Structure 1
Amino acid sequence: HFAEHLFQLEQLLNGIAMMKELTPRTKDYLASFGECMSTRIFAAYLNKIDVKARQYDAFDIGFITTDEFTNAEILEATYPAVAKRLHGDWIKDPAIPIVTGFLGKGWRTGAVTTLGRGGSDLTATTIGKALGLGEIQVWKDVDGVLTCDPNIYSRAEPVPYLTFDEAAELAYFGAQVLHPQSMRPAREGDIPVRVKNSYNPKAPGTLITRARDMSQAVLTSIVLKQNVTMLDIVSTRMLGQFGFLAKVFSIFEELEISVDVVATSEVSVSLTLDPSKLWSRELIQQELDHVVEELEKIAVVKLLQRRSIISLIGNVQRSSLILEKAFHVLRTNGVNVQMISQGASKVNISLIVNDSEAEQCVRAFHSAFFESDILGLVSGPESGNDSI
């Protein structure tokens, strides 16, 4: 089996070398070999130590996807197909299924596809939803989801409980532990997800559920997204808000550029371009110039680079307290916020600052929110009520 895989891989690489071309379809087929071989090795090892295991290639057991190579989406038909195969095999002959992560089969082409970033977690949550399991565990190299990036601040702590809403915001705004799409099947199936650390199995990790007790919660986590490009767009024509915003966003749609954080008024809009959505192709200066050129037909545009988004993920009911404390920290540190946005989800408040000030801000926020008694501020004699 294994020698056959290596032979196929060699043939594929020879073909690529001869053609001097690597299409997205070929790239996905090439990327699939690592998973297919490592799962076979792992299943063989488990069987050798008398733990009965069976290897599966996701594209053979019902993972049906769009034909969008390198970033395919799982189709609804996957759930019954995967359930039928895994459950059927288990009934006939119980063995631990070892399934390849982030792979699928394009529904039209029948070719191997990959699920993009977070694809292995998505494979796990898809199987969890398909089988209606009681819990899905995702094993990482950190003690669960943390209060901030430990590389920026060593006092980051694990967050014991999260809601799916909070997890999605954290993932979207750059926390590397989870990917927003990977949580969707678990959320739809209402299955708890536990994030654990392979290097520290005794750590309790983070449990993600539909709802959690928010009575003591203020801030959950601080996420930093650096090297962000910000655009300040002010209308030069007397378009009403609808006409102006519609035109601005149609330009981004035409150029297939994702927008991240937005703040608007009647005749102006400030926004950041989302670097995580451009992970597969670099947004080079030429492309930025093109965006500005198009926008300048209807507006005065200021392009501001080297900015950072600091996202404060926290309790909706305490957003005023979070803002009050955040601005106190910024004032103390002499930092001017260039833009602020509180999204419709409300669990997230995003602040835009200069890259050069960002890490200092994260450390200061962490000290203020996680290393001092915030709730003392809320319930103290001077506060009057619980929602300041």
Structure 2
Amino acid sequence: MKFGGSSVSSAARMKEVATLVQSFPGERPVLVLSAMGKTTNNLLAAGEKALHCGVPMTCYIEEFSVIKDLHVRTAKELGIDQAVFSDLFEELGMLLTGIALMKELTPRTQDNLVSFGERLSTRVFAAYLNKIGVKARQYDAFEAGFITTDEFRNAEILEATYPAVAKRLHEDWRRDQAVPVFTGFLGKGEKTGAITTLGRGGSDLTATVIGKALGLREVQVWKDVDGVLTCDPNVHSLAVPVPCLTFDEATELAYFGAQVLHPQSMRPAREANIPVRVKNSYNPHVPGTLITKKRDMSETLLTSIVLKRNITMLDIVSTRMLGQVGFLAKVFSTFEELGISVDVVATSEVSISLTLDPIKIWSRDLIQTELDNMVTKLRKIAKVKLLQKRSIISLIGNVERSSLVLKKVFSVFEELGVKVQMISQGASKVNISLIVNDSEAERCVRELHSAFFEQEIAISKDLPAGIL
């Protein structure tokens, strides 16, 4: 059972989560927790302020006080001893002082900094479970077998993690049967031994890794929405939960901008064929979304619409026209050299249209100097047109029926007067992506949702009983 930051954002929420844990009396759940509320953002902001403090550190870091006040207040309301986390605040204060002294905030230090969020929330919650009579044991994932690459801020889980986590948990359970409470999002670098993070939303991945390591029956991801929705409810209020998804559909949804799941979290579940259930901790009686390896797609046209805003699009045309050997290789080696990820691609022998993915984790867009440098390098081999302020609208569903999907899509776009600037069908066979201007994107999503979902609902409501 994985609980996100909003699910454990206060003492009241932690009490609700404890009730949920106790509602599975016949199970032996393993719990994975994110940091409380906005703690991760506050830790990052505190690090940035410390970086620009004078020496000795004279500035007041408000975010540090906010984090401390939240956890002290929560401990008081839950009736637990603050001693369970007091040493962590001493350590955090020393780290911020070190950042101020060194005038340096490296990715390695940043991972150490943000780890305090999960380390604090799990200690508070494990102490509360023990207080109410549910025997619990807190685990820092980086000390409990989570071994990763040393790519700070976006580490990948290594295969050695699975047997290491299984061994540690089985040994502890045999000795003392307590509910494990794991820090999400964290690991230990294989070579450096330093704390690493799995990227924003990485607690989902922590949960599915534990699921695979222990061969569990199900992984539950508890969020603040009623499951995976047909589109972003902030874009369109009529979005509704999707009852079932495949792992492929869930992965595409996450990668192309849906905030409900971490893009890599489906891989361990798919490999071990363990169902993942997305539920709402604020509304636990709603069925949520069940994600499995296969489902009946025969009646499915579209599953969900995902919007990814503020992306950069490139049109690249070879200056040598037909038959230029290695053109695509040269283009993509340029992106590799500059450390820029490519998102959606459409190609011919002598031209490529593609979109650039913002940096994976910390929501930092590519800065203009990076884009200028990239264009300069590419212009040595091609004509390059840079188009900014674009959006990707990804249609996740049954691409076996892509002709019908596209017919409906272009009918909507024609009515809106919207020009599609690029189209690409993913190799996963569950995704069609379309590029439009940012200014048109939200309206497109609302009208597409109406065409694919609301009209079908309206028709079914109007039919007499027994027709469907």
How high is the TM-score relative to the length of structure 2? 0.78
Aligned to 1:14: 97
State how 1:1-388 maps to structure 2 within 5 Å: 1-238=84-321, 240=323, 242-275=325-358, 277=360, 279=362, 281-373=364-456
Letter paired with 1:117: R
Deviations 1:168-199 (A, max 9, x none): 11111000111211211111111000011111
Whether the 8 Å CA contact 2:219–2:276 is kept in 1: the answer is: yes
Deviations 1:71-128 (A, max 9, x none): 2111111111111111221222211100111111112222221111221111111110
TM-fit CA distance, 1:56: 0.9
Q: Distance in 1 between matches of 2:364 and 2:455?
A: 42
Unaligned runs of 5+ in 2: 1-83, 460-468
Aligned to 2:70: none
Corresponding residue SS for 2:455:
coil
Corresponding residue SS for 2:221:
strand
Deviations 1:306-346 (A, max 9, x none): 11111111112211110111111111111111111112112
TM-fit CA distance, 1:18: 1.6
TM-fit CA distance, 1:349: 0.6
Q: Distance in 2 between matches of 1:25 and 1:38?
A: 21
Letter paired with 1:369: F
Q: Distance in 1 between matches of 2:371 and 2:109?
A: 30
Distance 1:243 1:107, change over 3 A: closer
Whether the 8 Å CA contact 1:174–1:276 is kept in 2: the answer is: no
Distance 1:9 1:170, change over 3 A: same
Q: Percent of aligned positions with the same letter in both sequences?
A: 78
Corresponding residue SS for 1:217:
coil
TM-fit CA distance, 1:139: 0.8
273-282 vs 249-258, which moves further: 273-282
TM-fit CA distance, 1:26: 1.9
TM-fit CA distance, 1:38: 1.4
TM-fit CA distance, 1:356: 1.0
Deviations 1:130-152 (A, max 9, x none): 00000000111111110000011
Corresponding residue SS for 1:54:
strand
Whether the 8 Å CA contact 2:221–2:277 is kept in 1: the answer is: yes
Q: Distance in 1 between matches of 2:230 and 2:299?
A: 16
TM-fit CA distance, 1:373: 3.4
TM-fit CA distance, 1:239: 5.4
Letter paired with 1:246: A
Matched residues, number: 375
Distance 1:276 1:172, change over 3 A: farther
236-245 vs 74-83, which moves further: 236-245
Letter paired with 2:247: F
Q: Distance in 1 between matches of 2:392 and 2:451?
A: 18
Q: Distance in 1 between matches of 2:324 and 2:204?
A: 40
Deviations 1:143-166 (A, max 9, x none): 111000001100000001000000
Corresponding residue SS for 2:200:
coil
